Structure 1
Amino acid sequence: MSDYRVLPGPEHFLPPAAASMGIRLPNPGEAHINGVIASEEKAYEEAAKQFLMAKVPTIFPGPLVLWAWNEKAAKKATAVRHLYNTLKECVQPGQSPMLIPMPDYRPKYPKIDPEIEINPNHPNLTIWHNKIDCCMFIGVHCHQANLSLKIIRGGTSCYTIAMCAQAGHEDAMLSFRDASVEKIMKLADWVRKLKGTVQPRLTSAKSGASN
């Protein structure tokens, strides 16, 4: 087992790919927390706690759930909206949940508008601008998600959660695999279950650059 752990940063300018440090992906029915294989049930609880502790818990839905390219995607999008609404209902005063889309993967130059979108090529800009301290990626193609997760880990202290439709994301602090409507709804159930039991941090996330 690797001694390396996938933890909130800022790690350094070029953080290593977690896979190169010996972090392996979970098997079906498993998840991982900080690079350590864990049960899905434990991961649901931890993800809900991280959302409820965060000052600005944020969901980043990607193209795979933003665009209704099939019935399955549309159902996942509805579940993501339910998760966001549940989060809004369960946070305490002073917490500000957000839902910021990643509509496509094209680099946005000369600037990105960090108040309305996130882009995998410079996700840290959206994290810094909105002072996001916990986020979840869902519906983002794996190669683009891993790029974003590495950049976030390298330059911010944001806690990252990935709900992956495939085998999971080793570069996230917490990752589920085989994402489905049922799993998204179950995470919402855990958020509701833990409502009022988790003390929020209510401090801004640190970053590798001044805000």
Structure 2
Amino acid sequence: MHETTTDERIIVPGPAGFHPPSAAQLGVLPPNPGKGLLYGREVDEETVMEEIARVMLTGRNATIFPGPLVLWNWNAHAAEKARAVLEIAAQIPDVLIIPMPDYRPKYPKVEPQEVINPNHPNLTIWGNKIEACIFVGVHCHYANLSLKMIRAGTNCCTIALCAEQGHEDAMMTVRDCDAAKLRSVAQVIKRVREEMGIALPENGENVRFTPYQSRMVHGGKTHTNPLDFTLSDPTDGSAAAFGHSSNQMQREA
């Protein structure tokens, strides 16, 4: 197991203050294939996955933030990655899932227990007292924006599971995350969880709803089993309410 000391860590939870230097300014670059970033240092990606597991299993109000690339059932690839994200969620007791369904600013007010928005992600972090989170399925430029703002203004430990080259402004990142690699993350979390002696609920209902989600969507229910979720048909569906079409998403993916 690789352990970084405080002196070795470059990108760490904040708050780093107003307009802190970017990771690139601090000399941190995206990882090479087969590698990941652990607090700004390049290490083997499985080492990063193990630290992701420990942080998500012990962090206060650990949360997964799925973005449009895994939220909307645009095609078979998106659906397969979405299932893999749910498998990750299934290994983390009491985890929250708060979506990033759209990138446009939510003015005059965002409901932090309903969504996270890349233009003011700190509001959702603060509103739910989140100290560990995973970004997955978010277009890279919006993920970069969110990660910088979260590091500047919160104490949240950020994790980016990226389909491209990874995110140097996250405390931890794994690159080239297709469905198979996301499932590898889930398996590592399962192994580390068992090594730590952390059990899942017997009924499998380990995903916790925010009070808003519970009240407005789920009739007062507090938890659910993520593996019971059924994907809808690959149509535009509710994404149309956010001004998107499947053709637009396929061009951007």
TM-score, normalised relative to structure 2: 0.73
Q: How many residues align?
A: 191
| CA RMSD of superposed structures (Å) | 1.6
Name the residue aligned to 1:108: 106
CA contact (8 A) 1:62 1:137 kept: yes
How far apart, CA to CA, are the structure 2 residues paired with 1:27 and 1:76? 22
SS at match of 1:21: coil
CA contact (8 A) 1:136 1:162 kept: yes
- 1:66 aligned residue (67, 71, 89): 71
Name the residue aligned to 2:59: 54
Residues 1:168 and 2:173 are matched in the alignment: no
The structure whose Rg is larger is 2
Name the residue aligned to 1:99: 97
How far apart, CA to CA, are the structure 2 residues paired with 1:196 and 1:18? 33
How far apart, CA to CA, are the structure 2 residues paired with 1:186 and 1:196? 15
- In the TM superposition, what is the alpha-carbon distance from 1:84 to its structure 2 partner? 0.8
Residues 1:15 and 2:20 are matched in the alignment: yes
- In the TM superposition, what is the alpha-carbon distance from 1:59 to its structure 2 partner? 0.4
Matched letter for residue 179 of structure 2: V
How far apart, CA to CA, are the structure 1 residues paired with 2:194 and 2:186? 14
Matched letter for residue 97 of structure 1: V
How far apart, CA to CA, are the structure 2 residues paired with 1:55 and 1:132? 6
TM-score, normalised relative to structure 1: 0.87
Higher relative contact order (CA 8 A, sep 6+): 1
Deviations 1:80-126 (A, max 9, x none): 111112213xxxxxxx3100000010000000010010000010100
- In the TM superposition, what is the alpha-carbon distance from 1:198 to its structure 2 partner? 4.2
How far apart, CA to CA, are the structure 2 residues paired with 1:20 and 1:178? 24
CA contact (8 A) 2:56 2:62 kept: yes
Task: Structure 1 unaligned segments of length 5 or more: list them.
Answer: 89-95, 201-211
Deviations 1:152-171 (A, max 9, x none): 00111100000011100000
- In the TM superposition, what is the alpha-carbon distance from 1:4 to its structure 2 partner? 7.4
How far apart, CA to CA, are the structure 2 residues paired with 1:73 and 1:197? 31
CA contact (8 A) 1:35 1:173 kept: yes
Alignment of 1:53-202 (within 5 A): 53-88=58-93, 96-195=94-193, 197-198=195-196
SS at match of 2:176: coil
CA contact (8 A) 2:53 2:193 kept: no
SS at match of 1:51: helix
How far apart, CA to CA, are the structure 2 residues paired with 1:97 and 1:28? 29
Task: Structure 2 unaligned segments of length 5 or more: list them.
Answer: 1-7, 199-253
- In the TM superposition, what is the alpha-carbon distance from 1:55 to its structure 2 partner? 2.0
How far apart, CA to CA, are the structure 1 residues paired with 2:61 and 2:197? 14
Runs of 4+ in 1 over 2 A off after TM superposition: 196-200
- 2:48 aligned residue (25, 36, 43): 43
CA contact (8 A) 2:164 2:177 kept: yes
